[in-house]
Chains A and B, each alone.
Chain A
Amino acid sequence: MNESIAISASNLTKKFDDFTAVNDVSFKIFEGEIVGILGPNGAGKTTTLRLLTGVYKLEEGEKIEIFNENLKDNQINCKIKFGIVPEISNAYSDFTVLENLEFSGKMYGLSKEEIKNRSKILLERFELLDKLNAKTKTLSKGLKQRANLCLALLHEPPILILDEPTSGLDPISVKIMRKQILEFRKAGKTILITTHDIKEAQTICDRILIMNKGKIIADANPDTLRRDFKSISTIIFKTEKELDSKLMNYPTLIKRSDGTFAISSENVLKDLSELYNSFTLKNQIQISDVKIQETSLEEVFIDLIKNDSTKKKGVKND
């Protein structure tokens, strides 16, 4: 395959005084991919995006290339390739939607004619035409988000950077936004998106970078992530009788709030037969309604982060 690399980031690090928010992060994003950075609050997602978009200065040894052009040497050329939708709206709140579009358009070198034509198309597409002359500070969160999308798309950038584009939106807006993102990909755009919503990452991303405490702890496509962690399926079952204390201490067994029991399992067949052995054969307790739950990406995510944390606590980082 001869895919071209849209973004190549090497050894990104960002410290705030003594605190390392992004710690030696490297990744590549290919043209036309939707890549999600998934991580809990404070993982360093926004900081990573800010490094990419040239908000923070790069130190010695850090390198970012946008379509093979070095960001450090060609700031203007690289920055023009990005369309950025920030976590919190950063349009000029005292400007109207139209004034913001005009300002942005000029900033990105568009002609008056281009700004006018494209604005009309975008505002129509995002159903904002009636808000054309409303100050952005008067817009609701969802409308602000759409206005920010228009601003990001105005100069038709090849790369879209979306920082939690669906957080805080109502379910319908979320759906519309996700549909939009998939359409951007159809239009050939490369998309980098951050989220803490695992389902979102799972449904729209081609590849997921899981970030925790400033490091990328996994980089894979959603299916691979799930497959690798299939080892921890969950077996759910009912019993006809209460369990005695000995059985309650069965490895990994938990009683769930609905009265059913669950054990986690690396090998479902083997564990089922052991379960049957211990419960039914040895203790005459019938088990019923057995369900095997496939690991969700959510559990993968939590597991990865949990492991990452215990590892950090237990072993000294070298």
Chain B
Amino acid sequence: MADRIGDPTVVADNVHLTYRVHGASSGKGSATSAFSRLVTRKKAAGVTEVHAVRGVSFVARRGEAIGLIGRNGSGKSTLLRCIAGLLPPTGGKIYTDGQPSLLGVNAAMMNDLTGERNIVLGCLAMGMTKQQVAEHYDEIAAFSGMDNYNGKDFTRLPMRTYSSGMAARLRFSIAAAKSHDVLMIDEALATGDRDFQLRSEARIRELRKEAGTVFLVSHGMKSIRDTCERVIWLDAGKIKMDGPTEEVVAAYEKGV
């Protein structure tokens, strides 16, 4: 593998993101009102702008696990969605190596399907071959713990019957089955219990050894300390501090 520890995987160059919020347009209604909205092209009253990310620049490298901390609404999730390519930055550029994967808070994927189907479909969607799926299936089911949860095989039940922590476990297990160049975890592990947090932290360390980059958003400073050696502190859309975990977390905890 030519990819080496230390090569950049994500380069953010003065990234800005502004949300444009269109009043109270609910997008529901009768055919006639929908039609008149289309014809008149009228935007529902009042456009408000939310400047969520304001000029963020950093370089992330292979083998790094970077913690992202900051108050609610400081722009952490928004920044990750920009990196994942789900939101186009309104200013600046983001360069990535390969396709970053984002694990968000809402952990469900295909709610009406069983855990088993979610595993198979999730792996196929990530680009695995049928054979690779067969190889990884038991590992994923076992890692998530869904194959024997309180003595019941939950892989046979639809995902809508899972608790939020169980859904998060399954989704992390699916995503982690593949090695990623860039994996971003946005509070997806927060609902997991102690046992699963330990297991997922071990998996994150493995991913780093495979020369990937991991971003972790969490309000739990313990899991940040346990997994990351570098932390970026976002405040009101700007980087307030970027450095070794101990320094940044200490400053953050003093400031809060």
A and B associate in one complex: no
Residues of B within 8 A of A (CB): none
Residues of A within 8 A of B (CB): none
